[in-house]
Amino acid sequence: MFHVKQNTHIKQKVGCPICSAEDIIPYLKTKDYFFTQEEFSITKCQKCNFVFTNPVPKDLSVYYDTADYLSHNTKNGGIISKVYSLLRFINIRRKYKLVSKYCKKGNILDVGSGTGELLSYFNKNSWDTIGIEPNENARKFSKLNYNIDVYNENKLDDFDLKSFDVITMWHVLEHVPDLHKRLSQISKIIKDNGTLVFALPNLNSPDSKKYKEFWSALDVPRHLNHFTQETFEKLISYHNLRLVHAEPMKFDSYYVSMLSEKYLKNKFFYISAIYNGFISNMKAKKNNNYSSMIFVVKKEL
């Protein structure tokens, strides 16, 4: 069992990460069901309704230090790993198709590029590619296997202004400790007519409401920020950015449901996940509030 000495490793946020208001109330308590089994609190801003993990560990890196963290994993594993790999294979092609609607060819920066499969696909289709990835092993894997240039997050401050046609952050912004700093960095280096693409878990989704504290997309403490479309739009508005398109990642409801059922200790979690993922997607049709959403963003000119 992973153990962290209690009450010595956490820091309290006194203001909302989006609007800085200090009128914060408890939202729910949950656990790091994925790794350490520690309990964490999630709070909500009463001014802008943003929901965030609070308090958070001072050293978040230890919570990624497991071979089961699949976006950094370079080896095959059990059924969950196989499902994740299959969905990644499908999503890579879908992501490429989506980006190509806004830019046929150019240069792309993928922030949180993991082990590099997405950028490798873009590279094979004649794009210039650069990755940002905080995990050293994932960076090395990308370079060794795909010959992709991937840098640590500090590199974001070194790029020239308005130098990228496309910047993507696929399930990354929920991990970012300083949201305004990150949005400021990428809004400076995207071209005026460039395209920003974000993928995020959706706190307003039917599966989030079903599973509540067991909803695997809470993923505390790795997920610091828990977005809805409304709070995401609030955040980007501070940086002269606007939402131009929103669409679902429908497969994510099945994967999220599978993990959530596993956290509930359901022995037949994969069967329940198929049913509950389907129900979640059917309910989400009413208001486009799917388990995970893709948001395409442009600069206000």
Residue in 115, 231, 119, 225 with CA at minimum distance from that of residue 167 = 119
d(CA 120, CA 214): 34
pLDDT at position 7: 41
Q: Please give the structure tokens belonging to residue 78.
A: 């059990």
Kindly tell me the number of DSSP H helices and DSSP E strands found in the chain: 8, 13
Neighbours of 32 (CB within 10 A): 19
In the prediction, which pLDDT does 301 show? 83
pTM: predicted TM-score of the whole model, two decimal places: 0.92
Q: How far apart are CA 130 and CA 108, in angstroms?
A: 6
C-alpha 197/C-alpha 190 separation (Å) is 11
Closest CA to 137 of 112, 114, 120, 159: 114
Question: What residue ranges define each of the domains in the chain, with the CATH number in brackets?
Answer: 59-65+75-104+159-299 (3.40.50.150)
User: What is the per-residue pLDDT across 171-187, written as a single tens digit (0 to 9) for each?
Assistant: 999 999 999 999 999 99
H helix intervals, the chain: 79-102, 117-124, 136-146, 179-189, 206-211, 229-237, 252-263, 269-284
Residue 78 confidence (pLDDT)? 64
pLDDT in the model for residue 88: 80
Which portions of the chain are predicted below pLDDT 70? 1-9, 68-81
Q: Rounded CA gap, 57 and 76, in Å? A: 29
pLDDT of residue 266: 95
Pairwise CA distance, residues 110 & 156, whole Å: 11
204 with 228: CB under 8 angstroms? yes
3-class DSSP state of 130: strand
Q: Which amino acid is at 174?
A: E
* pLDDT tens column, 128-171: 999 999 999 999 999 999 999 999 999 999 999 999 999 999 99
User: What is the pLDDT at residue 75?
Assistant: 52
CA distance 201 to 132: 21
What's the pLDDT score for residue 2? 46
Instruction: Return d(Cα 151, Cα 28) in angstroms, integer.
Output: 36
Task: Note the pLDDT of residue 89.
Answer: 84
